Amino acid sequence: MATQIKFGTSGWRAVMAEEFTFANVQRAVHGIARYVSSQKSNGARVRVIVGRDPRFLGESFCATAADILSSHGITPLVIAEPAPTPTISYAIIQSKADGAINFTASHNPPEYNGIKFSTPDGAPALPEVTQAIEREIATFDANPQTPGAAKAEAQPQTIDPRRMYLSRLREIVDLDVIKKAGIKIAFDPMWGAARGYSDAFLREAGVTVATVHDVRDVLFGGHAPEPDDHLLEDLRHQMREIGAAIGIATDGDADRFGIVDDDGTFLQPNYIIALLFDYLVETRGWKNGVGKSVATTNLINALAEKYGIELHETPVGFKYIGELIKQGKILIGGEESAGLSIRKHVPEKDGVLAGLLCCEMVARRGASLGQQLGELFAKVGSFYPLRENFRLTPEVKQKFTEKLRRDPSEFLGIKIASVVRIDGLKLVLADGSWVCYRLSGTEPVVRVYSEARSREGLAKLSAAAKAWIFD
């Protein structure tokens, strides 16, 4: 029986040679081709971008996808080199393409690959689109026919969106401020798709940049290409070597960011989103709204209240933030899992942009990120967020799932001020601390997000959050 191809929050991902095989990739692309064709009136020209990150066999998967799209009468616009996901998103919008197939497993370990489908607006496909694609895959499985006669009309074309995307970043990021400050910057693309992007962008403006992991390695150094604290030691070493004011990193497809302060401290994404929100209000004067997932720090809520800016809380998944960007409702939107974008930019996570804006912020303010965070806490109070994963036995999962349906009146002996069910169960306590539980849809795991107003409070809240699962 054929593998069921399911598109999750960020597309379909699977282990290569297990479920991510050429046969399954072909099924998925046929399904996407059928879906895209169904969205256009008869006779209209259909064009779909095909891109990838630097993972193993990426070129071959792109060639396979291009052949299949051609067989459906769809013109494939193939990006020859690995390209960041936000670059592909921008290319869709600029070229008025009918979507993009991006072969990437983002920050997942090297044995994974995936397919991410983006719609004509450059945004990650919403659930109604991915469900329609899944239905088209099932229809193709039942009757694997292609309209092969159209192949001659849809020869693949090659595109290179790099310069176009970097040109857009020059409109957003104030390079003069970075150059005049004379700061040095270290960059870690983690062997990924942002190689030749962030560093080249800064060097062209005369900024001193040192880069690590600037070669293609399909094994990503033997671990997941995730710009997280414990994987950024080489970046820290490079920062010390050149005396960098900031270290910036991106994941495998450059939609996520990792930021290191001048003293080697990793700034968690929650804080980066809040700092950039504050900075953009200060320097750009934007006040049209802010977006965050329900699991992201309430430091953003406090800043929104202080500035009189409308707050939009969304379920987890950047596609919901992307919708707010498309609608012009927010100046910045972000998720604690290191995704953000800004107004009038792509409705997709952009790790390249996030890092460059942080460089501008450090350069303009002349203060380290740690100092800036301290000033933010002085404005609206301190916030200490944490994310933990707990594995569940079948019995515990069943019992806990039942528990999530109920609304408790207190937690940790503190009265519950509100119960939020935008995504999972979020309990906001009377003292401003909160805990949010989300069951994974793919494994027996519960994700627990908690936040308190002091470090001591967070330790107590985390212990109570864990106990509440297993008691």
**Lowest-confidence pick of 12-16, 108-112, 418-422, 437-441:** 437-441
Whether 329 and 393 map to the same domain: the answer is no
Q: What residues contact 216, with CB distance under 8 A and at least 6 apart? A: 54, 82, 191, 195
Report the half-sphere exposure of 211 (CA within 13 A, side-chain side).
19
Beta strand 425-429 pairing with 311-314: unpaired
Query: Would the pLDDT of 442 be above 90?
Result: no
At what angle are helices 162-172 and 85-95 packed, to 10 degrees? 100
Rounded to whole angstroms, the Cα distance separating 331 from 345 reads 10
Label residue 397 by pLDDT band (50, 70, 90): very high
Q: What is the pLDDT of residue 172?
A: 98
Rounded to whole angstroms, the Cα distance separating 39 from 53 reads 27
Whether 277 and 365 map to the same domain: the answer is yes
Q: What is the pLDDT of residues 228-268, one digit of tens each?
A: 999 999 999 999 999 999 999 999 999 999 999 999 999 99
Q: What residues contact 35, with CB distance under 8 A and at least 6 apart? A: 129, 132, 133, 136
Q: What residues contact 109, with CB distance under 8 A and at least 6 apart? A: 220, 223, 224
At what angle are helices 351-365 and 162-172 packed, to 10 degrees? 30
Q: What is the pLDDT of residues 143-171, one digit of tens each?
A: 888 776 544 568 899 999 999 999 999 99
Rounded to whole angstroms, the Cα distance separating 250 from 354 reads 9
Residues 132-153 have a mean pLDDT of 81
Rounded to whole angstroms, the Cα distance separating 11 from 346 reads 18
Q: What is the pLDDT of residue 443?
A: 83
Range of the structural domain that residue 75 is part of: 12-160
Phi-psi region at 122: left, alpha or beta (left = phi > 0; alpha = psi -120 to 50)? left
Q: What is the pLDDT of residues 375-385, one digit of tens each?
A: 999 999 999 99
Whether 337 and 208 map to the same domain: the answer is yes
Q: What is the pLDDT of residue 468?
A: 93
Label residue 115 by pLDDT band (50, 70, 90): very high
Residues 376-402 have a mean pLDDT of 95
Whether 246 and 152 map to the same domain: the answer is no
Beta strand 184-188 pairing with 246-250: parallel
Q: What is the pLDDT of residue 259?
A: 98
pTM, entire model: 0.96
Boundary of a domain, candidates 345, 380, 415: 380
Task: State the DSSP code for 444.
Answer: S
| Helix ranges (DSSP H) in 39-84 | 58-71
Rounded to whole angstroms, the Cα distance separating 66 from 60 reads 10
Residue 3 belongs to some domain of the structure: no
Whether 75 and 88 map to the same domain: the answer is yes
Amino acid at 113: N
Q: What is the pLDDT of residue 62?
A: 98
* Tally of domains within the chain: 3
Q: What residues contact 124, with CB distance under 8 A and at least 6 apart? A: 10, 11, 116, 117, 118, 317, 318, 319, 322, 348
Whether 306 and 178 map to the same domain: the answer is yes
Residues 22-44 have a mean pLDDT of 91
Whether 222 and 279 map to the same domain: the answer is yes
Query: Would the pLDDT of 441 be above 80?
Result: no
Residue 406 belongs to some domain of the structure: yes
Q: What is the pLDDT of residue 153?
A: 63
Q: What is the pLDDT of residue 130?
A: 95
Rounded to whole angstroms, the Cα distance separating 79 from 62 reads 9
Boundary of a domain, candidates 380, 395, 417: 380
Whether 224 and 173 map to the same domain: the answer is yes
CB 354 within 8 A of CB 272: yes
Whether 41 and 138 map to the same domain: the answer is yes
Task: State the DSSP code for 173.
Answer: S
Which H/E stretch holds residue 177?
helix 175-181
Query: Would the pLDDT of 373 be above 90?
Result: yes
Rounded to whole angstroms, the Cα distance separating 247 from 184 reads 9
Residue 425 to residues 338, 435, 453, Cα–Cα distance (Å):
21, 8, 20
Whether 181 and 140 map to the same domain: the answer is no
Over its C-alpha atoms, the chain yields an Rg (Å, rounded) of 23
Boundary of a domain, candidates 160, 189, 210: 160
Whether 33 and 93 map to the same domain: the answer is yes
Q: What is the pLDDT of residue 152?
A: 53
Q: What is the pLDDT of residue 1?
A: 60
Q: Sheet containing 184-188: which strands, arranged edge to edge?
A: 208-211, 184-188, 246-250, 257-261, 266-267
Residue 287 belongs to some domain of the structure: yes
Q: What percent of the chain has pLDDT over 90?
A: 90
Label residue 116 by pLDDT band (50, 70, 90): very high
**Lowest-confidence pick of 68-82, 138-152, 265-279, 448-462:** 138-152
Helix (H, G, I), strand (E, B) or coil at 113: strand
CB 333 within 8 A of CB 291: yes
Q: What residues contact 23, with CB distance under 8 A and at least 6 apart? A: none
- Per-residue 3-state assignment (H helix, E strand, C coil) for 295-358: CCCCHHHHHHHHHCCCEEEECCCHHHHHHHHHCCCCCEEEECCCEEEECCCCCCCCHHHHHHHH
Rounded to whole angstroms, the Cα distance separating 140 from 132 reads 12
What the block records as the tokens of 382 is 């301190």
Rounded to whole angstroms, the Cα distance separating 32 from 125 reads 11
Q: What is the pLDDT of residue 471?
A: 80
Residue 428 belongs to some domain of the structure: yes
CATH number at residue 194: 3.40.120.10
Query: Would the pLDDT of 340 be above 90?
Result: yes
What is the sign, positive or negative, of the torsion defined by CA atoms of 85, 90, 91, 97?
positive
Beta strand 332-335 pairing with 339-342: antiparallel
Q: What is the mean pLDDT of the chain?
A: 95
CB 452 within 8 A of CB 460: yes
